[in-house]
Amino acid sequence: MSEPVSITIGNLMDQTTARFPDKEAVVYPELGLRYTFSEFQALCNRVARGLISLGIKPGENIAIWATNVPEWVTTQFASAKMGAVLVTVNTSYRVHELEYLLRQSDSTTLLLIDSFRGVSYTDMLYEICPELNECEPGQLESKRLPRLKNVIFIGDERKPGMFTWGDLLECAENVSDEELARVQSSLKPDDVINMQYTSGTTGFPKGVMLSHKNIVNNAINVAACQNITENDRICIPVPFFHCFGCVMGTLASVATGAVMVPLISFDPLKVLQAVQNEKCTALYGVPTMFIAELNHPEFDTFDLSSLRTGIMAGSPCPIEVMKKVVDVMGASEITIAYGQTESSPVITQTRTNDTIEQRVSTVGRVLPHVEAKIVDPATGEEVAPGEQGELCTRGVHVMKGYYNMPEQTAKAIDNDGWLHTGDLATVDEDGYYKITGRLKDMIIRGGENVYPREIEEFLYQHPKILDVQVVGVPDELYGEQILACIKVKEGETLTIEEVKDFCTGKIARYKIPHYIQVVDEYPMTASGKIQKFRLRENAIKELGLGTK
């Protein structure tokens, strides 16, 4: 087997641009925006020079809180060229989560849009940093976020204390192309360049540190599993703040010379329009996205004959959905991918020539330069093919660690370099993996990982709540929904509306419990441990949810 690729993202971009200078690189159908590789490279270089002009150094953490706007992907490659670590912020975050991420990540710069789905990002930031109202851009002295200095508003409107995107482009004039080239040439493939926050069983999200080498190799290998070349056009409706969008999507496009066709946010009608009008050959999504597209009332009016491949990932794929994507959408070479942020993200993927059974019942085989094994969680010994155990993985894709969390890193990656995924799986004689369950009690709701502990920690802050246990229960549309079983303090009463109101605006909408039960007792083991599986079973019966 050949060696893993060892190149920085900036140099990779320059190589691809040299090969395909006049070929389309980025297309935004909604905005009528089209860049060739040379145009996109020039814009990314300019933004990189602007970031240097603001005093941002290689290795410094800069955060971006935005939908899939063109400035997001431009910032991704611009920051990679000048060495700043891009910290991606979930678009569903609210005040509580944003403040935690900006503080824990030591971010010195934040780029943000105005609002999304009627929620004002700028209002939330002013709530955390009221000092922005009084300061000059770049001069922030925040009590709650002492590291944060620069706020860049993605737009032309003047906001107190913030640079505009236009200001950033103007700042570029202060830095020469030679200076950018010098900085870019000083970067190493093993440097951390991307940081994504994943919820943890500790109750607080952890910053996953990914290097150029981690994500470049993952992007190349994920693209190879789909036979992606410069002749392909990839429709990307999944969010950039996840690896699915910014590694498997945008970076894979730049690695191969394929055209990226992003959507600013997911809308099934816009996906169908983009695939038809831009003749997309690949389509990405979680199962719920494909379901929404297939069930759109106008689905039959679209010509999707250009579709060949793509990726379905994020949560287990129902067999009927996969068959419809192949037979009705025509994506006969669609692939399934499995992984997690800590593994850049893909560990296993099906190939275009795998049978439909293999693509539906398994998550494929390991990528190149990736090892995997199934171990007995109790002994750590490898188990025989067909036996269930914890999936562990090692190789070029494993993260550098969690930011400023050495103990958590040591728990995740053992002394021999194996990342313990926490997922239960089996592998057959041919090397095809099946995910069978989870060691941790993580909930996967519509492709989003939700960790009960994080929601429990948040709800404990409610003055009337004595105890709370959060579990996942089956849901036809989202795969799982969140149930909170709450014990109320003596003498208090608590309504479902009060709980939901307490959550609204403070935690992401997808983390707000869908079901809320007030209980007197929890089912316990003899040693006093709460049996979450019993809470789940009882709720399935009481709520009439069937089995999963």
pLDDT at residue 201, as a whole number: 40
Q: 480: domain CATH number?
A: 3.30.300.30
Query: What is the arithmetic mean of pLDDT over 416-433?
Result: 95
Q: Distances in Å between the alpha carbon of 350 and those of 160, 250, 353, 434, 438?
A: 50, 20, 8, 11, 21
pTM value is: 0.87
Q: Is residue 83 part of a domain?
A: yes
User: Is there a single domain that holds both residue 55 and residue 183?
Assistant: yes
Last residue in a domain, options 272, 306, 327: 327
Per-residue CA distances from 479 to 192, 233, 286, 402, 443 (Å): 34, 29, 11, 28, 9
- In the 8-state DSSP scheme, what is residue 367? P
Please indicate, yes or no, if residue 402 is contained in any of the structural domains. Answer: no
How many Å apart are CA 346 and CA 244, to the nearest integer?
Answer: 9
Could you tell me if residue 35 is inside a domain? yes
Q: How far is CA 319 from the centre of its chain?
A: 24
Of the residues 327, 356, 380, the one at which a domain ends: 327
Identify whether residues 113 and 258 lie together within a single domain: yes
Helix, strand or coil, per DSSP, at residue 418: coil
Can you give the residue range of the structural domain that contains 17? Answer: 9-327
Q: What average pLDDT does the segment 397-415 reach? A: 97
Amino acid at residue number 58: P
- Give CA–CA dist 383/433, Å, rounded: 13
Distance, in Å, from the CA atom of 410 to the CA atom of 207, rounded to the nearest integer, reads: 14
Domain count, the chain: 2
Judged by average pLDDT, the poorest of 172-181, 228-237, 353-362 is 353-362
| Residue at a domain's end among 308, 327, 346 | 327
Quick check: 526 pLDDT over 80? no
CA dist 148 and 142 (Å) reads: 7
> What φ, ψ does residue 385 adopt, rounded to 5°?
-50, 140
Residue 481: Cβ within 10 Å count? 22
Q: Is residue 19 part of a domain?
A: yes
CA dihedral for 10, 15, 16, 22, sign (positive or negative):
positive
Distance between CA 163 and CA 136 in Å, rounded?
9
Q: What is the pLDDT of residue 28?
A: 98
Let me know: does 262 contact 250? Beta carbons within 8 Å.
yes
Q: What is the DSSP string of 310-364?
A: EEE-SSPPPHHHHHHHHHTS--TT-EEEEE-GGGSSEEEE--TTS-HHHHHH---
Q: What is the CATH number of the domain that holds 137?
A: 3.40.50.12780
Determine what percent of the chain is predicted with pLDDT higher than 70. 97
Cis link prior to 474 (omega < 30° from 0)? no
Residue 350 included in any domain = no
User: Residue for token digits 């050959």?
Assistant: 281
Residue 547 has pLDDT above 70, yes or no: no
For the cut 60, the answer to whether the pLDDT of residue 203 exceeds it is no
Q: Is residue 399 part of a domain?
A: no
Phi, psi of 64 (to 5 degrees): -130, 130
Question: How is the beta sheet containing 479-488 ordered, strand by strand?
Answer: 465-475, 479-488, 515-518
What confidence tens digit (pLDDT) does each residue in 107-141 have? 999 999 999 999 999 999 999 999 999 999 999 99
pLDDT tens digits along 459-468: 989 999 988 9
* SS3 of residue 548 by DSSP: coil
Residue 525 has pLDDT above 90, yes or no: no
Residue 294 falls inside a structural domain: yes
Which of 298, 261, 300 shows the shortest CA–CA distance to 283?
261
Please indicate, yes or no, whether residues 318 and 466 belong to a single structural domain of this protein: no
Euclidean distance between CA atoms 208 and 242, whole angstroms: 11
pLDDT, tens digit, 9 for 90 and up, residues 19-58: 999 999 999 999 999 999 999 999 999 999 999 999 999 9
Dist CA 162 CA 367 (whole Å):
43
Is 394 inside a domain boundary? no
Mean pLDDT, to the nearest integer, of 440-453?
A: 82
Identify each DSSP E strand in 405-539 by its residue range.
419-427, 433-438, 443-445, 448-450, 465-475, 479-488, 515-518
